[in-house]
Amino acid sequence: MQTNAIRLLTITDQNKKILHENLENYFTHILCESGHAQFSIENKSYSLKKNEIAIWLPKHTVSEIRLSTDFKACCLMVSFDLMSQNNPDTRWGIKAYLFSKEHPIVSLSEKERAICLENFACIEKKHVDKDHTFHQQILGHQLQLFILDMWHIFSREMGKRTSSMQQGTLFERFLHEVRQHCIEEREVCFYADNLAISAKYLTEICKKSSGKTASDWIQNYTTQRIIALLEDKSLTISEIAYMLNFSSLTFFSRYVRKVLGVAPSKFRE
């Protein structure tokens, strides 16, 4: 295990250069306690304020970091390898990864804030206690508790977005359903049934609203998910095929060739 696999830091405007150091190797969690911050990820701007947590994924291109003079945050950095080794549930891990990529800032209640800070402290405590006979195992369990607590927060946010989208147009609701379920479902009939309309009518709505068919949208979102997973070298191609509910590795490879033009292994190269 790397000696710097975990870092717990206090970030202020005076030491913000830390946020520019080797971030591509870490899952970085920044819990704002006062002030505010601005940053960009892949040319999209975000604003972080008190009682919000920002989650920067490994290999995120974070730039234009600006902190207010009164900014203060507790920052937990966990190496990619250590986080991947202690993923409690692979499928939920995919959902959480994709959610964090699309929504890097999440608001916390006072209770959730306290739980996050407690988890940060416990992880740091287990990390430095290298004399413990079961150091690696106990640290892994502590990390899993933290991950499950974060997923619980994500599930609440996902529920909020689902509720708000139910008030949207049929097309908006369809896109939301695809974002939620394209990991497991790629048939138009599934989404039509969820929206209580026929597959033919759903395709007509999509064509009228966007010029694309329902199948085009499903394939588009599925392709984005496949690319994100293939870029994660900790997952084997067989594991990815299983996560995405393909009946066999052969069917998965055939699908990847169709949407990306090359075999999964070639895409990774």
Task: Average the pLDDT over 50-75 and give the result.
Answer: 92
pLDDT at 99 over 70: yes
Task: Average the pLDDT over 149-177 and give the result.
Answer: 77
Under 8 Å between Cβ of 69 and 13: yes
The reply to whether 168-268 shares the fold of 6-163 is no
2 versus 249: which is more confidently predicted? 249
CATH code 2.60.120 for 6-163: yes
Instruction: Choose from 19-23, 72-76, 151-155, 159-163 the range with maximum mean pLDDT.
Output: 72-76
pLDDT given for residue 1 in this prediction? 40
Task: Average the pLDDT over 258-266 and give the result.
Answer: 89
pLDDT given for residue 161 in this prediction? 64
CATH of domain 168-268: 1.10.10.60
Task: Average the pLDDT over 27-41 and give the result.
Answer: 95
Task: Average the pLDDT over 25-46 and give the result.
Answer: 93
Q: How is residue 242 written in tokens?
A: 């299983």
pLDDT given for residue 183 in this prediction? 80
Quote the CA–CA distance of 24 and 47 in Å, as a whole number. Answer: 21
Work out the pLDDT band at 35, boundaries 50, 70, 90: very high
pLDDT, one tens digit per residue, over 166-203 is: 555 788 888 888 888 888 888 999 999 988 999 999 99
Quote the CA–CA distance of 60 and 42 in Å, as a whole number. Answer: 7
| DSSP code per residue over 211-257 | SS-HHHHHHHHHHHHHHHHHT-TTS-HHHHHHHTT-SSHHHHHHHHH
Buried b (16+ CB within 10 A) or exposed e, 39-57: bebeeeebebebebbbbbb
Work out the pLDDT band at 162, boundaries 50, 70, 90: low
What is the domain partition of the chain in residue ranges?
6-163, 168-268
pLDDT given for residue 248 in this prediction? 86
Task: Average the pLDDT over 73-83 and give the result.
Answer: 92
Phi, psi of 28 (to 5 degrees): -110, 125
What is the average pLDDT value for the chain, to the nearest integer?
87
pTM of the model: 0.69
Task: Average the pLDDT over 264-269 and give the result.
Answer: 86
Under 8 Å between Cβ of 102 and 59: no
pLDDT given for residue 145 in this prediction? 96
